[in-house]
Amino acid sequence: MSNNNLIKGSLQTIILKLLEENERMYGYEITQRVKELTAGEIKITEGALYPALHKLEAEGLLSTEIEQVDNRVRKYYSLTKDGQKEVTSKMSELQGFVENLQRILTPDLKPGFNI
Amino acid sequence: MRKLTEQELEWIHTRLKSLHIRYTEVYEETFDHYHSALERCSVADSAEVFRKLNKDFSRDAVKKMEKELRKTSQKQVTKMQIESFMFWKYDVRTSISFIALSTVSVLISILFGKYLLSAWLGIVIVTGLVFMFSKDKSLFHFNLVFWKKSYVRAVTQEIYGRFAILSGVGISSILNIPNMRLEIIFHQAGFFDISNIFLLIVLIYGLSLFRIVLSLGFSTTTKLHSI
């Protein structure tokens, strides 16, 4: 089953989290890192990744720098100060959602269970 | 990592041309993505990797990228315009120049009225456009050979667009505003002509754009591979 629809809502959080850990990354690198971390189980499509990156940039959560790499231009993304704050809030939001989802899927689970 | 073959580079160029990309930024980012993916796979696998990339970078995906980039550029230019008024953040020379320019504008409007103010506005617009053109000519790279496309920087397009609006508003204010009733109210209240106030606002807007143009540093070494 394609998990693209499941990832859709958490794509921004994934990007922000990766950038928090890696300081600066470029588009292709992000897709590969996700693939690597999930052993290929989750694949971020480029058609979703770049618009999300540009959106986060427009919201002032990401800043960019351009570098010349082997005769071509590469755009690196990194977190702004606002972006760094946003990672924490997005992460707790997502964790809360996963907890609630767990409660629905496994009703026997005690409240307060942490993933 | 390996070096791409001529054939692989040709695949990328052809594909990117077929996507009808408008903005330099999207072109560069997409090119880097294709290049990075292909240089990490073997020559034997490259056709398959390329096919997958084409599926991901569909026309719709590129359109979405362009839409978000346009929004980013609009916000970026607006933010820079607002910041351009924070003259206390500049170095001393720039701060003095900015305050002097603004003071001269106000004095012109008070002492000499709208016609000299509009001439002053014209000078700001023309000088700003000349500076802009010297930094990035991409918007004016017209090509008579129709299948060879020109790419434009989204930020450049946004700034030129704002200059165009500025010129339009400036001209229409000179032509129309004297007939407005509000002007009479202002006169009765002892203020100077309202069109002067309007022009002054337009001029300050122009000065902020002018300040952005001066601070922009476009890379002139970047060569677009498909042009």
What's the pLDDT score for residue A114? 53
Residues 6+ apart with CB under 8 A from A40: none
**Residue A50: which of B29, B37, B71 has the nearest Cβ?**
B29
Q: How far apart are CA B129 and CA B131, in angstroms?
A: 5
Residue found by looking up tokens 């989750």 in the block = A42
Residue A114 located in a structural domain: no
Q: What is the CATH number of the domain that holds A59?
A: 1.10.10.10
- Report pLDDT digits (tens) over B17-47: 999 898 988 999 999 999 999 999 988 899 9
| Strand partners of residue A77 | A25, A64
Q: CA-to-CA distance for A78 and B193, rounded, in angstroms?
A: 49
The pLDDT value recorded for residue B224 is 42
More confident residue, B95 or B16: B16
Query: B221–A68: do the CB atoms touch at under 8 Å?
Result: yes
Interface test with A, best of B16, B52, B65, B155 (most A CBs within 10 A): B65
- Residues constituting chain A: 115
For A46, which residue in chain B has the nearest alpha carbon? B56
Quick check: ipTM above 0.85?
no
Q: How far is CA B122 from CA A68, B170, B203, in A?
A: 38, 9, 9
Q: What is the pLDDT of residues B190-219, one digit of tens each?
A: 555 666 677 777 778 888 888 788 777 654
Structural domain boundaries enclosing A16: 4-105
Number of domains in chain A: 1
| Structural domain contains residue A111 | no
- Do the domain assignments include residue A115? no
In angstroms, rounded to a whole number, what is the distance separating the alpha carbons of residues A87 and A18?
10
Beta bridge partners of B152: B23
Looking at residue B159, its amino acid is I
pLDDT computed for residue B222 by the predictor: 40
pLDDT in tens, B133-175: 776 666 555 555 445 556 788 888 888 888 888 887 777 766 6
- Identify whether A72 is part of a domain: yes
Torsion of CA B148, B154, B160, B163, to 10 degrees: 160
- Position B141 scores a pLDDT of 53
Cβ contact A27–B64 (<8 Å): no
Provide the mean pLDDT of chain B.
76
pLDDT at A59: 84
Domain assignment present for A110: no
- Domain assignment present for A49: yes
Residue B221: predicted pLDDT: 35
Residue A113, domain member (yes or no): no
Q: Compute and round to an integer the Cα radius of gyration of chain B.
A: 24
Domain residue spans of chain B: 6-57, 69-215
Q: Which residues of B touch A27 (CB under 8 A)?
A: 29, 32-33
